[in-house]
Each structure stands twice: as structure tokens, then as C-alpha cells.
Structure 1
Amino acid sequence: MSEPSNEAAPRRGRPRKDPDRLAVWSPPPGWSRLVAWVAPEEKAVLKAVATRAGVPVADLVRALAAGLVYGVVDAEELLTHVRKGAAVMEKIPTIFERDDRFHVVDKPRAECDWVFAGAGRATEKLDGTNARLTVRSGTIVRVEKRRNPSKAQKAAGIVDGWYVDTDEHGAEDKWLREAAANTVVASWPDGEHSVEALGPRIQGNPLGLDEHVCVPFNLIVPDYQEAPRTYQELHDWLTTLESRYAPGHLAEGVVFHHPDGRRAKIKRKDFARAR
């Protein structure tokens, strides 16, 4: 019988630059650790975004929390998507199918076949918070924000979202109400107007606006009559498409409007970035 070897078994993994010093990180006082379970496709998207940013996933999640604290990320808009849930169909569908990294691929979505048939008109997609203003005699008399059905409500057959009143004294509605207050409605017809609230503290302000304001979908959202309808053409076109609402800034994307009321969308960031 052979004698047992006295040689130490080789250690697995990459050797440390300084084997005698373990890498230990101590969180600042008062910090706590959060753990969450995520689906495989959610994990893939988080890792993809973190890789593009050149940071660990943990830093990406912490950046989201910091964005909420300092108003870079709009809490109400985030809550809308959280309540909607991953399994709920988009209210305005994207015209192409998506891959496991949530980028669009060259496969038209069946329900949007009318877009590729050339029907409807394209308008600029404004990246803000959806709301509704009620106007009487050139004065705003009601400010509402959008609610979407929860998973349980969706399962019960409640498909469409609805509007609820904003809270005049609620911190979560501060910027939306400020946008309404800054909006000149003297020429608007009486009635309820669906709007997009935009501005410095809403959705990161991609259009670089100096103040919060509401843009009515039915009155002044710019058209793009020349909008292409194929995957590669849209990819190239959106890369440099200038906003007509805020010249000097890139447009987020476009929304196609069918005469019968159907809508479909495509955004610049839906496409994978060139490597």
C-alpha cells in the first residue's frame, strides 16, 4: 500500500495577488443588505445593463435606489411598471419581438402587422409620465395620474388602465402637479386630455427641458411622416433622429397611430447597441 502524499492539494480558482490578505469590504455605518429572487430573463437583463455600464449588478441596483432618493428616477413611473408586472402585455406594444436580453429582433409582432402594411401615422414618443388633465374654460380643474391593473386584476379580466386623482399634498405627485401648473391651456378645448408630463425631475429629463410641463397627445405631439417601417431602416433612422419637440436632443422613438385607435411603438434603446 502506498503512503499518503504529504503534498497539499492544489487550490482551485485564480490565485490572489496577495494570498495572505483576504479581500474584505465593510459597508458604511447604517447600511443594510437586500436579497431578491429574480427570473432568469430578468437576471440576464440586469447583467447586460451592468456590463454596458461597466459596473457590478449590485452597483446597478444601488444606483437605482440612489436615483429614487435624489429624484433622478421618477417613483410614480417606476411603480406603474412594478404594478404592471412582467407577465402583463404592454399597453402600447412594441412592433418587434424581443430576445432574452430584451432587445428587439427582426421579427414583426403579429398584432402590429398594420404598421408594416403602411397604415397609420407616426408621432414622436415622449419619455415622461402619463397623466390626464381636465380643462374647463381654459383652466385646469383636475389633474390625474395613470394606474394599470395589477396581476390579480389582470387575471380577473381587468385589461385597461385607468386614471386616479393626484394628491395635492403628496410628495409622489409633486412634479406631475408642477408640470400641470406650468402648462398653458388657455387655447385647449374643454374636456379631458391625455398628456405626457416632462421635465427636469421626470424620467431623467432626456429632452433637457428647463421646467416641468404637460404635452397633450391630441394637440401638439409632432408627426414623422417619413418614418420607415422595416427593422434595419428604423434602427438606422432612430440612431440620429432629432426630437421635434426639443430640437438638439435625440427623440426617444415613435408611436404609430392606426385610424381605428390602435397604437404601436418602437424606441431607439429597444435595439442592441453595435459592438
Structure 2
Amino acid sequence: MTQQKFQIILVLVADTAGGRPRGRPRKDPERLSTWVPPEGWSRLVAWISPEERLALKRVALEANTSVADLVRALASGLAGGVITPEELLGHVRKGIQVMEKIPTMFDRGEDFKVLPRPRQGCEWVFAGEGRPTEKLDGTNVRVTVRSGHVVRVEKRRNPSKLQKQQGIIDGWYVDADEHGPEDKWVFEAVRGTSFEGWPDGEHPAEALGPNIQGNPLGLTRHLCVPFNLEIPVYDEVPRTYDGLREMFQQLESRFAPGHLAEGIVFHHPDGRRAKIKRKDFPGISARSR
């Protein structure tokens, strides 16, 4: 984005903030500030990581505004024609590549749907290598088990864009906070899982349930599913664009029969992984048959 357009965005930010610097502390702290949105307005909510939040706050600080008004200014720029969709899409694609934990096996097009073109680095999938397993859409965690009891719960953290530029590619695990609201459902999943029979050691798992990622499998309780013990394996999975697209039309979840599978993850013996999701294909609904 050019410096000139960035300056225009800052002007838009000032306009959305009423042209006034943020006042802290309030002159009358006992009085709550209220604001009623105009008719037809809607509220946008998104979950972001601490690193992403910090990056947005840095830009908002330079613009002397809040993160919320910064996002609104971006929307105003699009609506007003100051920022073109094509210009923004280039940055969005870069962000998606950073955000992806496991590479999608096909390249993506302008609409973010996959193209019939193998993604560089995923050639091994098309060569027939790797074991296809069901992709469970939840929160990636790691639990440490001793004698059938959980003694530690961790959640996955992925490298930021800057860290990737520094050569830090793989994610890592950090301790989850049992008393933190952001990890509430992770611990609900741990409490809803029986760890009897789990070998002692660290187990990467997926936390699933009614309040996690929209619950696409229609689960009635929260639980943890270990990747190394219970993830369902599909015996025959095509390795072509057309074959996978046709398969996903009716592919049933083996973990939750009666629901469509979210996707497939291919696991190579050397640790490499690649994924494909039903919603990646054009013309296929993410949730319905």
C-alpha cells in the first residue's frame, strides 16, 4: 500500500473517531459513555491472536485511534473507493499464507477457492505418499498424561509473520490458563475426556465440542481427540482435484457419522502434512449435503 493511500486511511480514521484524540482518563469516570449505531449498522467480531492484536494496536497507535475504528476505516476506504479490492486482496492472501498451520495441497485462486494446481511442497501427496485422516475442526492442544490423569494442558501457538521471516517456521505449545476466559472451552474438553488407557506422555490432540469452532460435527459435549490414538483413517482417498471434489460431495465423518467430514489431512512418515477441506472447492457448501 502506498504512503499516500496510508495517509488517506489515517484521515478516514480521524473522521470515524470524530476528529478528536482518545480521552483517557474520563472526566467523569462514573458516567458510562453510550453510543447508539445508526439504523442498519451491524457489529463485526473476530478472534485474533495476541501477536495479531499487538500488530493492529501498533498501527492504531500511529493513527491515534482505536483498533475498532482502524478496522472501520479500512471498511470505509473500501466503500468509498479509496482502497481497491484488488489492492486489499494481495495483502489478504499473504495473511492467509502466514495463518495456515498446515499447507493446503492446491494453490488458491482469486476467490480463495482451490485451483487444479498442486501447491509447491505438496508433491508427495500426489505421488501417493502419506496416510489420509479425517480433519477435525477444533482447537489444537497438547495434554500430558500420567497414570490416566492429565498433569499439563497446552495450546498451540504459531509463529508470527516476522518470526517466519526470521526462519521460525514450526509452531510450538504454551501452557493454557485454566482460569483464563480464552481457554475455558479447552479445559471443558479436558474435563469431558476419559484418559484411562492413554499411555503416559505428551499427546497432541484436538479439542472439540459445542462451543468450539462452531461445532460442525454437532457434538453434544466437549472432549479431546488425540491425533496419535483415535483420529479416523480413510482407506481410499483420491489424489486428484476432480476426484477429491467429487468425494467431498458425500464424504461422511467417521468420527461423527451422520455429518459431513470437514476435510482430509495427509500425514507423511517424515512428519510433513498437507490438507484439503470441503469448503476449499468452489460450488460445495461447507455444512450441507
State yes or no: 1:26 paired with 2:38.
yes
2:101 equivalent to 1:91? yes
* RMSD after superposition: 2.7
CA contact under 8 A between 2:144 and 2:202: conserved in structure 1?
A: yes
Match for residue 138 of structure 1 among 148, 160, 163: 148
Q: Which residue does 2:194 correspond to in 1?
A: 184
Asked if the contact 1:85–1:150 (Cα under 8 Å) also holds between the matched residues in 2, the reply is no
Cα distance in 2, alignment partners of residues 238 and 41 from structure 1: 30
Residue 74 (structure 2) aligned to one of 8, 28, 36: 36
Q: TM-score, normalised by structure 2?
A: 0.68
Match of 1:244 among 246, 249, 254: 254
SS for the counterpart of 2:221 is coil
How far 1:133 moved relative to its partner?
0.4
- 2: distance between equivalents of 1:196 and 1:42? 36
State how far apart, in whole Å, the 2-side matches of 1:123 and 1:256 are.
6
Q: Give the Å deviation of 1:108.
A: 1.0
What 5-or-longer segments of structure 1 have no aligned partner?
1-24, 46-83
Q: Say if 1:41 and 1:253 are closer, same or farther in 2 by CA, change over 3 A.
A: farther
1:22-69 CA-to-partner distances (Å, cap 9, x unmatched) read xxx93499x896222688469569xxxxxxxxxxxxxxxxxxxxxxxx
SS of residue in 2 equivalent to 1:176: helix
Larger radius of gyration between Structure 1 and Structure 2: 1
In structure 1, the partner of 2:174 is 164
- CA 1:42–1:119 in structure 2 vs 1: closer, same or farther (change >3 Å)? farther
Aligned pair 1:119/2:155, yes or no? no
Q: Specify the alignment match of 2:267 in structure 1.
A: 257
Q: Which ranges in structure 2 are unaligned for 5 or more consecutive residues?
A: 1-36, 44-67, 76-82
Letter in 2 for 1:123: T
> How many angstroms apart in 2 are the aligned matches of 1:197 and 1:208?
14
Alignment correspondent of 2:205:
195
Aligned-partner Cα distance in 2 for 1:172–1:118 = 39
- How far, CA to CA, are the matches of 2:146 and 2:215 in structure 1? 29
TM-score (norm 1): 0.71
The residue matched to 1:174 in structure 2 has which SS? helix
Q: CA deviation at 1:113?
A: 1.0
- Name the CA shift for 1:257/1:132 in 2 (closer, same or farther; >3 Å): same
Q: Which structure is higher in RCO with an 8 Å CA cutoff and minimum separation 6?
A: 1
Which residue of structure 1 lines up, in the alignment, with residue 21 of structure 2? none
The structure-2 alpha-carbon separation of the partners of 1:124 and 1:117, relative to structure 1 and needing over 3 Å to count, comes to: same
**Matched residue of 1:173: which SS?**
helix
Partners of 2:260 and 2:87 in 1: how far apart? 27
Cα offset, 1:181, TM superposition: 1.0
8 Å CA contact retained: 2:134, 2:234: yes
- Indicate if the aligned counterparts of 2:133 and 2:232 stay in contact, CA closer than 8 A: yes
